[in-house]
Structure 1
């Protein structure tokens, strides 16, 4: 019974086996095109048994090339590493050297993908390792590209020429060096690769290593004797390292070729190299050891000095030489700051407390006896030397040579100014006459050069003993026409002064100005003021130090404020946005956390919360706002946010600001403490106005002149009282205009003021209640009353506001403007000029200025009220204000963007729409002016708030 059951089971298994075999066996199609696509997935999966059975009785051509690249199944097997199928195909006669349309053999593909077993089998069947593809690449090129060193060891034994070149003349060693495959490079070199072989452009393997910053590869090549060679264009390996910012590779080059250290420093004069890359490389090299650091400082100082003297040479190109000097000095200062410890107080001009004697670059040594004589007493200020001695120059620090030349120039010009002041009829400057006389005595005007190629500070004297710096003598020709010396030299000297300031500043703690530089400006105050009076652009181009040192700024403020408002605005924003990645301040949030999500119904409180939680640096980079429950985002929504917030700041519910007597401006409320959070809200209000100014957004609010003065740090006067109490201001004016000696007013230095409904007497100064106001002290009384009413009464509010405002706007920057200009910057022009609007409007999508619809539109705008025009402006731009300068300066989402009107096909009852990010009004082609006006007014009164993605 058991035997019978087993026999039946075997029969069933045999049937099942035959069934499965029949199911697996498929007849291969007779045509190669169809057959190859049947076999290909099996080859890719290395299903060699199935492939073998299909090929068993088939007439399929195993060398059949298919597809656009004309590859065989052997290519597929080699590419995928299907070694069993590869062996099967080779046994059936597949050609191991068959090339596809790109010239690649199966060996190329196996090498490219690191298929070691496939490579070994292909070599057994006589695959040719020396075949090149269409680009000249062999199998060893592919192994070198990918760093397959273990495979390369096997393959080079079959290679006849390890230096076989591709179409660009590149060998396997070139590409291995480029990709930084150290072991592959060593293998190729051990196999006889030419270490200095150039490609068609003259680039050697070392050149390739440096082009991609492959430090270790470069080290191997240099240690094996690689030559330092440029390509056919003269580009050197060092050039490539600097272009890429590869400091480590530069250091390797310098280790093997010490002369390159000086070459690296000289590159700072070449503006073909990006400054940030140069800084990166010099920073790394200088930090390798103390010697490198000191050599770097000294070398940069020497180059800066040479360039500075060239700049002072009037025959040089001012723009190019000025940019070169300032670039070198910026790099010098960057390297200088990398010292192991922080800068000291600047007293010894360079020594920073570590073992590195940085004072060798800066420390002042006596070169000349500078005799300052009292100019006001009628005596000259000049450099002198002893009559019986030869003028010599002791060993000096490089930059001091330049600063001494600068000082010589300044003293010489000061002397000339004094002479002209004494004798205005003298005409042309005496410097010109001196130079013309000197020209006869000294035909060779080239400057003396020191050991390092630096100009010496030696000077010559005229017949009267007046010392003339060499940099003047270089260019006697330039003075022959008697041109004003100051006009010719002011910009050049100012650029050197800027360099001097930068060098002084890099030795000081942040926020402090070097005492030495302050002393320099004070000493040459008259000459510097003469410079900027003649050419005010010097202030904005070179005197950046004024923004960083209030003591110096005060000396020049009257000159600065006399400059055009636009120039000061440009200077303001240039420094305000210094260091920010995008000058147009467009910022795209990287995640949802960067978006200020605010609630429209509680916009003040919700905005206060999100701003307080945001990073100030991110807010400076840009602002993205979204109203809760709304889709709209972009610059139009940002402008709307500022517009609504500015209205909320003056909302009486918050008791922050009170309306002034004129009914249109606002002043901090002295009783704002009824709101427990009033100081936090004042700080937030300051932040919003600071942000608006930072991003050139306008706010829909006007403050009193006195409050603008508080922002600017300008003292208020009694006339400012008129904005809050005109009658009181008249009384103060009367006191100043009349003799109060015998009037019996019995005023004291105290006033009664309302404090939460109760009158209190407040002294204007200590003991003021008992001090009578007299004819002699009435001016002081008026000023103190003014300060009490306008400042002391609201000092906490002012301080909180300024704390927020100064988060984004530095006091030193905003002081460039007066209170009227600050209002223009913050709030724009109060009136809308329709003709200016019309003149600065662009048209698109079929509209032009002569279209009937456009003419009707401007007729309608002319007929609108001022409030309706503001609504229209707000509807299209998101802001209700026009920037200073008019409609030509409207801002869009990516910079300046004029008001634009685009045509839209008309359908019944269609309203105008807008794209606030690009200041575009989409105006349908209405059939009549009446319809246009009706639809426009509906849109304005219903759609001035709330933006969507439509």
Structure 2
């Protein structure tokens, strides 16, 4: 009878009427009903069951009461409590049903649990209580209910954080007000000393910070000394920073001083300052700009003391100047740009110029000091040169000069007794803003060295040396120089001050550029370099590294670069190459962007027509995008990544030389190529030359090597170096010998009857071409034969292919500016483009790393023996098989390119199976080499792999 009743009930309710005896199965059956809040069904099943309602199951170890509270199943929750469910049961994370109801905003469930004495002070594994959960999620209504049961509104979590801390962090303003109204401590600090104001500011919660400040929050530092202003700037929150400054004006100086804090990211600080300049009043913007100028002046003064930290002070000065110039242009240039193409004028009395004078005035004294230093150093250089030449004794009355061995320890800059600062009449002519004309010599005192009367006992020099001081007398309102010349091992005062002075010069250039219409070079700075040309070259000669550290202005000023280019070219190739790429790549350049398989801008190349399809693809994509990211995929092949990019460059460089395109012809040495003077046979030849320039420029930009070598004369054309008669030998060795003979012998009486003209074949007809105007009437003789040789060389080597060169350079310069590439010679450019021409097996072996294998493993020894045996072309094929490139970069195998940096050639272990082949991952220069049982099989399988797989990519 009972069976029939149960059967009928089950059929009517479309479910079972009994729970399984297994608790786990019963739990999951009930859980689905609890989630749906089917409380009647749950009641029916629990009535005659022995199931324990506190049974916990699953990965979270939650019981049915947890489930009901989490889902807001109020009726089921009430039923379970009646059935004896433990109200404070905890799951695996330490959460109670009350925590879950609070977190998810289940108000009715929360109140029911509170009625059953749920403990509001229980912490989960992270230390969060119920009130913390409400504050985190902004459950204001539930908070009002909970506060009826709360004794301590500031109960802490495991890190000492109260509910108001987390509410401020998440910007739940109503929660913050409610907590404060109920006695929460507005200045309560956590275990790290952070107050609610710290939490609001560190997450950019401007409105929350406003509430706190209005309710009396104190501006306190945490245990690391970080204030709410610090954390605001660290997050780049401009609006919150503006609020702090308006509430606490005294913080303005602290904000400006943050330019000296290395732990604050430059990007974030600039974002804050930019917001303040753009969205606050003009007075605020001016105050920030003037504050930055004053800060830069202060840092610049410190730089002139060799006792200060060089690296940190230089970074602070340049960062401060960078902020000043960028913000000034943002505030004033952009607003006047529509009215005039010019920026702020350097002369005159316009409102804009007066504003520039006001903002940059604090730096005028620094520029004056810079000029004084350079004048002083020029005098010292002259004195040293005189002594080295052994000319004459010292002049009386001028003091004892500093010898190279007499080294200065500190350079102090102090103001005179008059503390009013420099007036316009005292501004140095080196200033980048308008100055009042001074009488010649005004403000220039005599420079001399006198004994330091305040020398302490610790500063007494060694016996036989003299303590000296350099004093430059100036107007009382202008800082003076005080150089204590004390012995310092291995460097003199000049050497110690070179990088400091050059850093200030860089700052001066940035300010001048800021106030000069683009693309003009600042005339004030040009004049400055001209006046101090001799001493600047002397400084650079003593410490050439300063060119790469501080003389970036040379790259923007062709007229200045020409004066220093010979010094730059004299520096080590590695240093110049590093400087080249530092200035070539933007700050956000990322070398890891080669292998972006998801890129929408991938170059999809047809391997059967690599040249044409590549030309088409590059024509469609902006060069700016290719600078940031280059991704290549061959049609019908799965492989992508850096290895494919390398192979594309390698294959394409060969196609550029394909005779079918008639772009380049082989020189007489059989190894190098130069532009074909008859390339016009191809009607699209100039577009193809531009494309070739794109490829070489793109490869150099991304440090990819090309399998191509050009004649020395063509590299010279790229570099802007004039060709000479020796370059003719690459296309006509016999003619080059004749030119050499002409130069080596007297020709006046030989009756050669040469004039400054030549006959050339133009479409089958001889035509006379004058080398210069009236050249056909001017005879070549011993006095002008060098000019003749140069002109005829330029005709053969340059003018004959000028359109081709121009088109090529047009494409090349889209990626590589002439100002950068000109610092190399033709041999160095070849190395950067094509790498080393040979493969050094010893270098290869010394720069190979192993995984599982080691250098003594039998298969590894066989591998190197095989490389000794195979031919050079086969070694190149192996190199391409593993790296994707057939070339070795300058510096050898130690400098193989990887993803984002160098990556050595790697050999990893691979399990052996009969007939298996080595595989490779070209992106990371990795070869997987099976553990072959014999050297013969290793050689056979390796040759099969490189002959069949050196080009074309699947997925290894």
When normalised by structure 1's length, the TM-score is 0.86
**Distance in 1, Cα, partners of 2:399 & 2:581:** 40
**Equivalent in the alignment of 1:384:** none
Q: Specify the alignment match of 1:732 in structure 2.
A: 739
Deviation at residue 534 of structure 1 after TM alignment:
1.5
- The residue number in structure 2 matching 1:544 is 552
Partner Cα separation in structure 1 for residue 64 and residue 418 of structure 2: 73
Equivalence for 1:330: 322
Distance 1:905 1:20 in 2: 62
Question: 1:650: which partner in 2?
Answer: 657
How many angstroms apart in 2 are the aligned matches of 1:508 and 1:696?
35
Q: Residues of 2 paired with 1:186 and 1:947: CA distance?
A: 63
| CA deviation after TM superposition for structure 1 residue 711, in Å | 0.3
Q: Which residue of 2 aligns with 1:369?
A: none
* Number of the residue aligned with 2:185: 194
Q: Which digits, 9 at most, give the CA deviation of each residue in 1:862-921, with x for residues without a partner?
A: 444443433333333322222222232222344222333445555555554443333344
Alpha-carbon distance in 1 for matches of 2:380, 2:212:
62
**Is structure 2 residue 582 aligned with structure 1 residue 574?**
yes
Q: Deviations over 1:625-669 (max 9, x none)?
A: 222222222322222211111111111100111112222211111
**Residue 543 of structure 2 corresponds to which residue in structure 1?**
535
Partner of 1:225, secondary structure, is coil
Q: Say which SS state the counterpart of residue 762 (structure 1) adopts.
A: strand
Q: Secondary structure at the match of 1:846?
A: coil
Deviation at 1:316, TM superposition (A): 1.4
Task: From the superposition, tell whether residues 349 and 217 of structure 1 become closer, same or farther in structure 2 (CA, over 3 Å).
Answer: farther
- Return the alpha-carbon distance in structure 2 between the equivalents of residues 636 and 329 of structure 1: 42
Asked if the contact 1:459/1:467 (under 8 Å) is kept, the reply is: no
Distance 1:755 1:935, change over 3 A: farther
Q: State how far apart, in whole Å, the 1-side matches of 2:588 and 2:776 are.
A: 54
**Deviates most, 24-33 or 241-250:** 24-33
Residue number in structure 2 paired with 1:371: none
Alignment of 1:358 with 2:356, yes or no, is: yes
The alignment partner of 1:594 has SS state of coil
- The partner residue of 1:684 within 691, 706, 712 is 691
Aligned to 1:54: 45
Going from structure 1 to structure 2, the CA distance change for 1:488 and 1:427 (only over 3 Å counts) comes to farther
Contact 1:910 1:935 in 2 (8 A): yes
Change over 3 Å in CA distance of 1:712–1:55 after alignment to 2: same
Q: How far does residue 95 in structure 1 lie from its aligned partner after superposition?
A: 5.6
Whole-Å Cα distance in 1 between the matches of residues 411 and 925 of structure 2?
A: 64
Q: What is the Cα deviation at residue 296 of structure 1? A: 0.9
Match of 1:616 in 2: 623
Preserved CA contact (<8 Å) 2:383 2:401? no
Which one is further off, 649-658 or 445-454? Answer: 445-454
Match of 1:887 in 2: 893
Once superposed, what is the RMSD of the aligned Cα atoms? 3.6
Which residue of structure 2 lines up, in the alignment, with residue 300 of structure 1? Answer: 292
For the pair 1:413 / 2:377, whether they are aligned, the reply is yes
Counterpart of 1:170 in 2: which secondary structure? Answer: coil
Change (3 A) 1:100 1:429: farther
433, 458, 461: which one pairs with 2:400? 433
Please name the residue that 1:830 is paired with: 837
Q: How far apart, CA to CA, are the structure 1 residues paired with 2:419 and 2:703?
A: 50
CA distance in 1, matches of 2:930, 2:768: 66
- Partners of 1:874 and 1:36 in 2: how far apart? 62
Contact 2:399 2:449 in 1 (8 A): no
The answer to whether the aligner puts 1:630 opposite 2:637 as a matched pair is: yes
Does the aligned pair in 1 maintain the 2:168–2:200 contact within 8 Å? yes
CA distance in 1, matches of 2:835, 2:411: 60
Q: Is the 8 A contact 2:304 2:411 kept in 1?
A: no
Bigger drift between 691-700 and 120-129 goes to 120-129
Relative to structure 1, the CA distance from residue 480 to residue 671 in structure 2 (aligned partners, 3 Å threshold; closer, same or farther) is closer
2:310 maps to which residue? Answer: 318
For residue 698 of structure 1, report the CA deviation from its aligned partner.
Answer: 1.5
CA–CA separation in structure 2 for the residues paired with 1:593 and 1:887? 33
1:847-867 deviations in whole A, cap 9, x for unaligned? 41x455544544444444443
The whole-number CA distance in structure 2 between the counterparts of 1:691 and 1:54 is 74
Distance 1:753 1:806 in 2: 32
Question: How much does 1:62 deviate?
Answer: 4.9
Helix, strand or coil for the counterpart of 2:158? Answer: coil
Per-residue CA deviations over 1:581-610 (Å, capped at 9, x if unaligned) read 32x454342635332211111110011111
Aligned to 1:370: none
Residue 285 of structure 1: aligned partner: 276
**1:786 and 2:753 aligned:** no
Q: Distance in 2 between matches of 1:634 and 1:168?
A: 45
What is the aligned partner in structure 1 of residue 882 from structure 2?
876
Alignment match, 2:238:
247
Three-state SS of the structure 2 residue aligned to 1:197 is coil
Q: After superposition, give the CA deviation of every residue in 1:673-722 in whole Å (9 maximum; x if it has no partner).
A: 11111111101111111111112221111111111111011111222112
* More off after superposition, 120-129 vs 881-890: 120-129
Q: Given the superposition, is the C-alpha separation of residues 711 and 70 from structure 1 closer, same or farther in structure 2, using an over 3 Å criterion?
A: closer
1:402 match: 366
Separation of aligned partners in 2, 1:201 and 1:837: 53
In structure 2, the residue corresponding to 1:842 is in which secondary structure?
strand
- The answer on 1:259 being equivalent to 2:247 is no
Counterpart CA distance in 1 for 2:562 and 2:385 is: 25
The TM-score, its normalising length taken from structure 2, stands at: 0.86
Q: Distance in 2 between matches of 1:410 and 1:433?
A: 19
Moved more, 730-739 or 123-132: 123-132
- Contact 1:35-1:60 within 8 A present in 2 as well: yes
Q: Is the 8 A contact 2:307 2:411 kept in 1?
A: no
SS in structure 2 of the partner of residue 788 of structure 1: helix
SS of match in other structure, 1:597 = strand
Inter-partner Cα distance in structure 1 for 2:90 and 2:203:
32
CA contact (8 A) 1:312 1:471 kept: no
- Alignment equivalent of 1:916, drawn from 887, 902, 922: 922
Residue 737 of structure 1, CA deviation: 3.4
Q: Given that residues 399 and 448 in structure 2 are in contact (C-alpha distance below 8 angstroms), is that contact kept between their aligned partners in structure 1?
A: no
Structure 1 distance, partners of 2:955, 2:127, is: 54
Aligned: 1:447 with 2:437: no
Match of 2:464 in 1: none
Residue from 606, 609, 615 that aligns with 1:602: 609
- Contact 2:94 2:124 (8 Å CA) reproduced: yes
3-state SS, counterpart of residue 510 of structure 2: helix
CA contact (8 A) 2:10 2:16 kept: no
CA distance in 2, matches of 1:89, 1:906: 63
Q: Distance in 2 between matches of 1:444 and 1:769?
A: 66
Asked whether the 8 Å contact 1:197–1:205 carries over to 2, the reply is yes
Does the residue aligned with 2:638 lie in a helix, a strand or coil? coil
Counterpart contact for 1:682–1:801, Cα < 8 Å: yes
Which ranges of structure 1 fall in alignment gaps of 5 or more residues?
A: 1-13, 363-396
The reply to whether residue 669 of structure 1 matches residue 673 of structure 2 is no
What is the distance in 2 between the residues matched to 1:556 and 1:460?
A: 30
CA contact (8 A) 1:104 1:132 kept: yes
- Superposed CA deviations along residues 59-87 of structure 1, whole A, max 9, x for unmatched, are 65555666676654333222111122233
Residue pair 1:712, 1:819 contacting (<8 A) in 2 also: yes
Q: After TM superposition, give the deviation of residue 778 of structure 1 in Å.
A: 3.4
The question of whether the paired residues in 2 share the 8 Å contact of 1:428 and 1:482 is answered with no
Write the distance in 1 (CA, Å) between the matches of 2:118 and 2:418: 65
Distance verdict in 2 for CA 1:906–1:211, change over 3 Å: closer
CA distance in 1 between partners of 2:657 and 2:715 (Å)? 15
Structure 1 residues 26 and 644 mapped into 2: Cα distance closer, same or farther (>3 Å)? Answer: same
Q: Contact between 1:875 and 1:944, CA under 8 Å: does it hold in 2?
A: yes
| Cα distance, 1:206–1:640 mapped onto 2, change above 3 Å | same
Separation of aligned partners in 1, 2:905 and 2:159: 54
> How far apart are the structure 2 equivalents of 1:846 and 1:595?
37
Q: Kindly indicate whether residue 487 of structure 2 is the aligned counterpart of residue 468 of structure 1.
A: no
Q: Is the 8 A contact 2:908 2:927 kept in 1?
A: yes
In the TM superposition, what is the alpha-carbon distance from 1:550 to its structure 2 partner?
1.2
Residue 761 of structure 1: how far off its partner (Å): 2.9
Q: Indicate the SS of the match to 1:882.
A: coil
Instruction: Classify 1:248/1:103 alpha carbon distance in 2 versus 1 (closer, same or farther; 3 Å).
Output: same
